[in-house]
Amino acid sequence: MSLDSKRTRWQMKNLRSTSRSMKLAGNVTLLFTILTFAQAIGAQEPPKETGTFRRPDLVELVKLDRTIKLDIRYATSNNFLGRPVYKEARAFLQRPAAEALVRANESLRKQGYGLIIHDGYRPWSVTKIFWDATPADKKQFVADPSQGSRHNRGCTVDLSLFYLRTGKEVVMPSGYDEMTERSHINYSGGNEEQRRLRDALRAGMEAVGFAVYEPEWWHYDYKDWKEYPILNISFAEIGRSNPKTRSH
């Protein structure tokens, strides 16, 4: 066999070997892409929970008490994202939490204040949007979607006070959704009146079974929040659906 023939056979053998390697590499790349895509899809779903929960019974706050005011920031661009994430400016809570909120509103009205709601039940998908958009050093102000939010369970409300006499919202030591130390419930800055109003809201909410989330003076969790499942239904679906208790 000539030298040229041997060289040609050697080149063909290397070519086939290279082709097989490229095919294998391509398959590995394809598999990696599929797995990555599958993980991304999985990340768009609420966490799987174990245990048995109460049957959800989300009710619209203004239908229980029409004196409660709404300023649903996430239905507007006036929020930390700078864009709306809700299609409707509505607020819902699980019935026991909603009824407790009505009692708090009645008590505070005797002092000359009303409740103004910025957010209530929040679909899990919105919690995911918040988490992905928030810098690492500000994550304490948003819930980890892998754990779900108490908002997702329909037992958390973001709120403030307004003056019954003027209808204007009061001024607190920080703005709503402000991601600074001024938002902490024990922040000692601001002026005396701002701190007094913050404490009045806290006293009214704690008296009916809510507890404040300390980094955020506006965030209150109802005592039974652990008994409800994480939900991911839109506001429009609440009126026509009746999500069942889930157990896994």
Q: Which residues contact 47 (CB under 8 A, 6 or more apart)?
A: 145, 146, 147, 148, 230
Q: How many CB atoms lie within 10 A of CB 125?
A: 16
| Tokens, residue 242 | 């009746």
Collapsing DSSP states into helix, strand and coil, what is residue 10? Answer: helix
Rounded-to-integer distance, Cα 145 and Cα 128, Å: 5
Q: Which residue has the tokens 């607020």?
A: 91
Tell me which DSSP letter residue 160 carries. E
**Contact present, 210 and 104 (Cβ < 8 Å):** yes
Catalytic machinery residues: 216
Q: How many CB atoms lie within 10 A of CB 169?
A: 16
Rounded-to-integer distance, Cα 86 and Cα 25, Å: 44
**Contact present, 125 and 234 (Cβ < 8 Å):** no
Beta bridge partners of 115: 161
Q: How many CB atoms lie within 10 A of CB 58?
A: 23
Cα-Cα-Cα-Cα dihedral sign, residues 171, 168, 152, 178: negative
- Per DSSP, helices labelled H in 1-47 are 3-42
